Amino acid sequence: MSKTAAQVSEQGSRNPHVQQWVDEVASHTQPAEIHWCDGSEEERERLTKLAVDQGILIPLDQEKRPGCYLHRSDPNDVARVEHLTFICSRKKEDAGPTNNWMDPKEAYAKLGALFAGSMKGRTMYVIPYAMGPIGSPYAKIGVEITDSVYVVLNMRIMTRMGQTALDMLGDSNDFNRGLHSTLDLDPNKRFICHFPEDNTIWSCGSGYGGNVLLGKKCLALRIGSYLGKSEGWFAEHMLILGVENPKGETTYVAAAFPSACGKTNFAMMIPPKQFAGWKIWTVGDDISWMRVGPDGRLWAINPESGYFGVAPGTSKKSNPNALACVEKNTLFTNVGMTPDGDVWWEGMDGAPPAELTDWQGRPWKAGSKEKAAHPNSRFTAPMRNNPVLSPKANEPEGVPISAIIFGGRRSTTVPLVLESFNWAHGVYLGATMGSETTAAATGQVGVVRRDPMAMLPFCGYDMGDYFTHWLAMQSRIANPPRIFQVNWFRQGSGGEFLWPGFGENMRVLEWIVNRAAGKAGARETPLGWVPERGQINLDGIDVSEETMDHLTEIDREAWKKEFDLQEELFEKLQATMPRALILQRELLRSRL
Ligand code: GTP
Ligand code: SPV
Ligand code: MN
């Protein structure tokens, strides 16, 4: 462990490009030592012990939760920071009006000054990783340099990390260069910068997941979407699941819901007992990379290998498979801890324990007004723990997608489910999607904002150009998936959810896969096709046909207001908004 930086570095990667870059970064950040991550079990054990010794990880009861640890982040560093996230394209227009932009020269200078000497006395970790199954023609390689052992241990779960990724890279110079330094967690020195033209990410001043696990939102979505545009594919904030029917036929679906709006839950749901013989298989819970296959269909891979999931609300009732995922080898961030070394969060089964340690390490008592777990507390769990992991999750070619679903969190206006009239209309539905903000990003929670295709915080280039890309792909997809919109979050007058959600979403999904197979009836409305009365199986749930009518109703007055709210997005993006979407808007106006 006490070798000099140069010695250790020499034994590391033989890839000359990685080597040269690591040397450059080391001479700039001046770490005490350099550790090349090999991804081995021995390495995990050693680094975990180190993290425990340094107080970065707290061991949980190893009998109850083998291999599980708790991490408490700095209370000012618990979510993504959209206002400190920048797209540093050479031209400002290329970032577009929905992204923060910084001149790349300025960004390199500003962050370069913060990185100078920032790893003095610390270990610099070099993490080679693959996004996508090893050997997949669609996978991409990244190398993240970080001074955080927490990042290393999380990346080990979330990506295929270590020697295997270096082997896949070979001598190529085609890899993402990601640099992260924790600094002193001063929010004034927190910047998440993306340089799409350089395939580079620089992140400093944070230790929170989405800001620092650079393979995830930074590479797989922001840089990925930019690459997707130039190379002709999609990088999307979508879960991927397989729905198996009682005949054993599996249909694959991809769904984009904004952060903390139900992707993990939907991706691993258990169908209700009325759906005997139906099964859901998880391919991915957050990100989908999709390409056109030789058969003219859209094929999707999940670039990740773990789940960085929202803890609060996860229970035996809502998501038993997620609970199974976190039984072992899981890192918990900012949840509560019970006196016997287990975890707890709001919305878990049963009554809260009388006493706890809260997410900030303070004593907490049942009945306290403060939350024991932070609303954006998370678990990092390996996907192999998932009892319903799809047998295709590691398939290099991915799975063929038959339906794409867009969904937001809307307490009013937006119906439970509808199907678009065609591809361009489906793109319009995704593009104009609104959703109430959540705790996944810092800022006000619960305000409706436009979140096109759940990609507002994650599109690495101009959003109007992104819509153009979606429209242009149609001509390349001979057998396109059908496009749907859903809303699980409509509320009644007392603020209660009208739709039971979670596993019961299977009832809506059944209609969707049947429609995608051309097998279910529908009624035309100004917004799209909706299920006819009786088309959604309501056996065994307490949802009356009247509530169902309300859930699928289209209130023209509310929709006129919604139509005006969408105008803001069209105005903001007027420079590049594709004509086809302006036409869709005109068509909707006339239908309304
Ligand atoms: P990210 O990891 O942030 O991208 O989020 P996600 O989309 O995977 O969100 P997740 O599935 O973790 O859901 C987050 C929140 O939505 C939790 O509080 C859930 O309880 C709630 N939720 C999920 N599905 C449903 C549903 O069908 N109905 C209702 N009412 N709430 C739901
Ligand atoms: C999200 O916020 O959409 C997440 C969590 O999936 S993070 O990785 O922090 O972005
Ligand atoms: Mn997400």
For ligand 1, whether the C-beta of 364 sits within 6 Å is no
DSSP string of 392-422? TTT-TT-EEEEEEEEE---SSSS-SEEE-SS
pTM over 0.75: yes
Round to whole Å and give the CA distance between 201 and 187: 18
**If you ran DSSP here, which 8-state letter would residue 505 be given?**
G
For ligand 1, whether the C-beta of 520 sits within 6 Å is no
User: Which amino acid, 49?
Assistant: K
- 217, 264, 406, 416: residue to mutate for ligand 1 pocket, most atoms within 8 A of CB: 264
For ligand 2, whether the C-beta of 450 sits within 6 Å is no
Residue 236: CA atoms inside 13 Å, Cβ hemisphere, count? 32
Do the bridges between strand 482-486 and strand 399-407 make them parallel or antiparallel, or are there none, so unpaired? Answer: parallel
- Residues 441/503, Cβ–Cβ less than 8 Å: no
Give the Cα-Cα-Cα angle 462, 465, 471 (nearest 5 degrees): 150
Collapsed DSSP state (helix, strand, coil) of residue 442:
coil
Give the ranges where 276-334 is alpha helix by DSSP (H).
Answer: 320-325
Nearest to 46 by CA among 62, 35, 61: 35
Residue whose CA lies nearest to ligand 2 atom number 10: 210
pLDDT of residue 353: 96
CA-to-CA dists, residue 377 to 217, 288, 380, angstroms: 17, 23, 10
Query: Ligand 2 centre from 217 Cα, in Å?
Result: 7
For ligand 1, whether the C-beta of 432 sits within 6 Å is no
CA-to-CA dists, residue 588 to 165, 427, 428, 429, angstroms: 48, 13, 10, 11
pLDDT of residue 545: 87
Query: Ligand 3 centre from 509 Cα, in Å?
Result: 21
CA torsion sign for 230, 232, 235, 236 is positive
* Beta partners for residue 418, in sequence order: 485
User: Which amino acid, 103?
Assistant: D
Nearest to 267 by CA among 251, 280, 250: 280
Query: Ligand 2 centre from 312 Cα, in Å?
Result: 14
Q: At what angle do helices 423-431 and 463-473 cross, to 10 degrees?
A: 160
CA torsion sign for 208, 212, 216, 221 is positive
Q: Which residues of the chain have pLDDT under 70?
A: 1-13
For ligand 2, whether the C-beta of 85 sits within 6 Å is no
Looking at 115-238, which runs of residues are DSSP E strands?
123-131, 140-146, 160-161, 176-181, 191-195, 200-204, 234-236
Do the bridges between strand 140-146 and strand 123-131 make them parallel or antiparallel, or are there none, so unpaired? Answer: antiparallel
- Residues 455/466, Cβ–Cβ less than 8 Å: yes
Ligand 2 nearest atom to the CA of residue 213, by list position: 8
- Residues 580/473, Cβ–Cβ less than 8 Å: no
pLDDT of residue 426: 98
Do the bridges between strand 434-436 and strand 448-450 make them parallel or antiparallel, or are there none, so unpaired? Answer: antiparallel
Looking at 250-371, which runs of residues are DSSP E strands?
250-256, 279-284, 288-292, 298-301, 306-310, 331-333, 336-337, 343-344, 355-357, 363-365
For ligand 1, whether the C-beta of 505 sits within 6 Å is yes
Ligand nearest the Cα of residue 217 is 2
Look up tokens 């013989």; give the residue: 277
* Residues with catalytic roles: 261
Residue whose CA lies nearest to ligand 1 atom number 19: 313
- Residues 312/50, Cβ–Cβ less than 8 Å: no
Token reading at 284: 């991915």
Ligand 1 nearest atom to the CA of residue 378, by list position: 2
Residue whose CA lies nearest to ligand 1 atom number 24: 262
Ligand 1 nearest atom to the CA of residue 501, by list position: 27
Residue whose CA lies nearest to ligand 1 atom number 12: 310
Query: Ligand 2 centre from 381 Cα, in Å?
Result: 14
414-428 pLDDT, tens digit per residue, is 999 999 999 999 999
pLDDT of residue 3: 42
Kindly provide the b/e burial profile for residues 6-32, where b requires at least 16 CB atoms within 10 angstroms of the residue's own CB: eebbeebbebebbbebbeebbeebbbe
Query: Ligand 1 centre from 409 Cα, in Å?
Result: 9
Query: Ligand 2 centre from 440 Cα, in Å?
Result: 6
* Beta partners for residue 282, in sequence order: 241, 389
Cβ neighbours of residue 300 under 8 Å, at least 6 residues apart? Answer: 238, 240, 252, 254, 283, 284, 288, 289, 290, 398, 399, 400, 401
CA-to-CA dists, residue 584 to 191, 422, 423, 524, angstroms: 38, 11, 11, 16
Residue whose CA lies nearest to ligand 2 atom number 5: 210
Round to whole Å and give the CA distance between 149 and 1: 15
Round to whole Å and give the CA distance between 331 and 311: 11
Round to whole Å and give the CA distance between 214 and 457: 15
For ligand 1, whether the C-beta of 310 sits within 6 Å is yes
For ligand 1, whether the C-beta of 318 sits within 6 Å is yes
For ligand 1, whether the C-beta of 262 sits within 6 Å is yes
Residue whose CA lies nearest to ligand 1 atom number 13: 262
Q: How many residues does the chain have?
A: 592
